[in-house]
Amino acid sequence: MVYKRLLLAKAAVLLLTISLLFYGLLLAEETPNLGDKLIASTFKTLAKTFVASADMDKLKTENICKLNKMDEAKFRRRYAKAYAIIKGLPLETRLQYGISEEMTKEQAVRNIASINKPDIYRLIDHIPDAVIVVEFRQYLSRTKQQIQDNNSITQVKKLWGKMIAKSGNTKP
């Protein structure tokens, strides 16, 4: 079992690496539709690989426990963020799994308790590529901004250190 998980993890990393390399080439050729499909299929494959290697009973128990400990206000805030993405699922899929904007914590617990791996694979397949691409691009944008912000902070600290060193003071 451990060997199987290791093999799946290696395959997922290899797939992600190859996909990202090809994605760079696709961007250079300015073919966003093909690039978008590549992004979406990569993430769907990684998600399915995770599900295939995960202990679903353990994950379900842990997440149900977290939900049960969560107060209603915190659940509403977190669910609102999740629903912003989930609403991209086709209507029939949302209806089939009882996903709605007004879902209660108790409904979420029941949904988690009843779901199985084939259901999760179907949900992954039903996520529109455009939803994945938008989330991926937003993630890249946030990461780029964080790196730029961090870089600015680092530069200010270096400049401050140089100014202090020039003044002869050894303490910042």
Averaged pLDDT for residues 12-30: 51
Is there a contact between 91 and 100 (Cβ–Cβ < 8 Å)? no
In the chain, where the domains are located: 1-53, 55-127, 128-172
Provide mean pLDDT across the span 122-141. 86
What is the pLDDT confidence band of residue 95, given thresholds at 50, 70 and 90?
confident
Residue 121 has pLDDT above 60, yes or no: yes
- On whether the CB atoms of residues 1 and 17 are closer than 8 A, the answer is no
Tens of pLDDT, residues 149-168: 666 666 666 667 766 666 66
CB 60 within 8 Å of CB 68: no
